[in-house]
Structure 1
Amino acid sequence: MIGAGDGEMGGKPDGLPIPNRSWATVVKPREKASVEQPTSINQRENLEKLKKSVNDVVMVEKAMRTRATNRMANSLFGKFLGKAPPLEVVRKSLTEIWRGMGPFSVSDMSNGFYLIHCEKPEMVESLMWEGPWTISGMVLQLTPWKDHFQPTFEKLDLAAVWVQLHHLPIEYWSGEVLELIGDSFGRLLKVDEHTEKLTRTKFARICVEIDLSKPLKRGFWIGDEENRCMVAIFYEDCRCFALIVV
């Protein structure tokens, strides 16, 4: 179902190269056939101007929308914390790294994002929790699929990383204390199984969601008014952070 706004279309925004042409003019044969690469249409500032001049709306019925979103059920969005390698390098590297986890596909999107589609939901869960994944030292940050995702307007401001808590007294290796610790410098997402069961006790290991716009914490003090201990934080496989430990 297609509906058009009743109001008059606004004029062409300044600086936006979108001439008022008919479809017949657009598809008119040219001397040399080529595939256009509309770089300007993917620039955020131009899209913001375009929003103000567009009134047409395509209405999607609920059942149709459900079918459309179901196709993306086992998908993730990814983006590198740093300059992304070429698509074929990403595909080849991830095929090696994720070998045996299940079939998947990778395609590139605008603004440096990638669409990763897995055949099974179990692989999606594994990719989210067994990372972070790196290619040539660059971290590939993964985030679950969400509807109405427009990569040009998205900003990678959160990252899920595994951290080691060194010198944390063993009595504090409990779920509620670890959650308190995780939330003090991010958001606790998961506690390592060995940490939960105390089967490996050199350091506590937790997965936290951190705000990339804020400085990384290098350690903290834990205790009460009478006794406190200093705990050092080690960020696993995150060389791009340039911060390791106190």
Structure 2
Amino acid sequence: MSETRVLANGDQDACMDEVGRPPGDTPVSSPSWVEKVQGSGGGGLPVPERVLDDAFVAARMSLEFPDGAEGEPVVTIGQEVLEAMNGLWKQCMIVKVLGRHVPIAALSRKLRELWKPSGGMYVLDLPRQFFMVRFDMEEDYLAAVTGGPWRVFGSILMVQAWAPGFDPLRDEIVTTPVWVRIANLPVNFYHRAILMGIAGGLGKPVRVDMTTLKFERARFARVYVEVHLKKPLKGTVLVNGERYYVSYEGLNNICPICGVYGHVVSACPQRVSETMVQMSIQGGNTDLEGGEKSNDGFTMVRRQGRRVEAPVAPVVFAAENFG
């Protein structure tokens, strides 16, 4: 495979297939150096030095000391260099195994078994149990980043396309697609647009399960929904005045008090806040006590200082419960 390298003056090294061209032959027009870099996707992990000449990079970087030689250095990297470097990583995704610490070797092996890529796939470890996955082939990348939901080691694999601004020390993957089950919906609601509209109240609907659309099962409708894990998950949905229960596949750690994923009851910020209020009130108001059972089986829970009816928790089902 021919290879082009950008030199300091913006020119390109001759490609391997241009060497030895008979005199007088007109070379075939080639794309610009940025297009060349952005179009390079195969051949294993990228080697930036083969694409960008050292002198080219150095000419587009600056080093300054605004506060004097003893002060903090300020480095600026030119936009042309950044665009070229970003192009090397365009077929990458960020992944994190929800609620688990996984060694990179084990994750790499598991992802190969899960995705079965046709071309090369490389896993790099990042801080805070984030991993970066790069694919040689675009079709392998698209299948991984848009497919799913993916599960590894019994947990949900959270995925998102890589972006240059992603910071593993600061950022989180706060949304994840999961299968949501809406129980006991009437069959006359089993229309793709109706089900997607109902699921829109639970998150960002992606698609409806084919088993549901083919009427192969009518005890529940199953919809693939992108949910926000830092916000309360909905335990019910009201449709034309009727309440239907909602369950989530694979999310095993949903707080029954606030509905947010990721902590247990004893660590719920809402419960801790209410406990402190109760301790500060002499003679305590019993109306502040935690859940009260209502006649219809719902638990009264307090959110932002007022009581609302909600189920004890969104129900969680394992993957094998879904057809």
TM-score by length of 1: 0.68
SS in 2 for 1:67: helix
Q: What letter corresponds to residue 93 of structure 1 in structure 2?
A: K
The separation in 1 between residues aligned to 2:136 and 2:183, in whole angstroms, is 38
Change in Cα spacing, 1:220 to 1:89, as seen in structure 2 (3 Å) is same
- Deviation of residue 58 (structure 1)? 2.2
Q: CA deviation at 1:116?
A: 0.9
What does residue 183 of structure 1 align with?
A: 200
1:212 and 2:212 equivalent? Answer: no
Residue 198 (structure 1) aligns with:
214
The reply to whether residue 61 of structure 1 matches residue 79 of structure 2 is yes
**CA drift at 1:122:** 2.5
Decide which of 84, 87, 90 is 1:73's aligned counterpart: 90
In 1, Cα distance between equivalents of 2:315 and 2:124: 32
> 1:198-239 CA deviation, whole Å, 9 max, x = no partner?
35343322222211122322222211xxxx333222222333
Give the Cα–Cα distance (whole angstroms) in 1 for the partners of residues 247 and 195 of structure 2. Answer: 15
Could you tell me which residue of structure 1 aligns to residue 251 of structure 2? 238
Give the superposition deviation at 1:102. 5.0
Cα deviation, residue 152, structure 1: 0.9
- Match of residue 146, structure 1, among 148, 163, 167: 163
Q: Check 1:204–1:54 CA distance in 2 against 1; reply closer, same or farther (3 A cut).
A: farther
> Which 10-residue stretch deviates more, 201-210 or 144-153?
201-210
Is residue 2:78 matched to residue 1:7? no
Correspondence for 2:271: none
Q: Distance in 1 between matches of 2:165 and 2:131?
A: 15
SS in structure 1 at match of 2:78: coil
What is the correspondence of 1:42-191 to structure 2 with a 5 Å cutoff?
A: 54=72, 56-62=74-80, 64-99=81-116, 103-191=120-208
- CA drift of 1:84 comes to 1.7
Tell me by how many angstroms 1:148 deviates.
2.1
Residues 72-99 of structure 1: CA distance to partner in whole angstroms, max 9, x if unpaired? 2221101121132111111222222223
Larger deviation: 97-106 or 86-95?
A: 97-106
Q: After superposition, give the CA deviation of every residue in 1:83-120 in whole Å (9 maximum; x if it has no partner).
A: 32111111222222223665422111112110011222
Quote the Cα distance in structure 2 between the aligned partners of 1:113 and 1:140. Answer: 11
> Given the two structures, how large is their TM-score scaled by the length of structure 2?
0.54
- How large is the Cα RMSD of the aligned pairs? 2.9
The within-5 A match list for 1:224-235 is: 228-235=241-248
Q: 1:125 to 1:233 in 2, by over 3 A?
A: farther
Greater relative contact order structure (CA < 8 Å, 6+ sep): 1
Question: Which stretches in structure 2 are left out of the alignment for 5+ residues?
Answer: 1-59, 256-313, 318-323
Q: Distance in 2 between matches of 1:9 and 1:79?
A: 42
Q: Any idea what SS the aligned residue of 1:4 has?
A: strand
Alignment of 1:31-50 (within 5 A): none
Question: How many Å separate the matches in 2 of 1:167 and 1:145?
Answer: 39
* Range with greater deviation from structure 2 (98-107 or 143-152): 98-107
Quote the sequence identity (%): 23
| Distance change in 2, residues 1:162/1:123 (3 Å) | farther
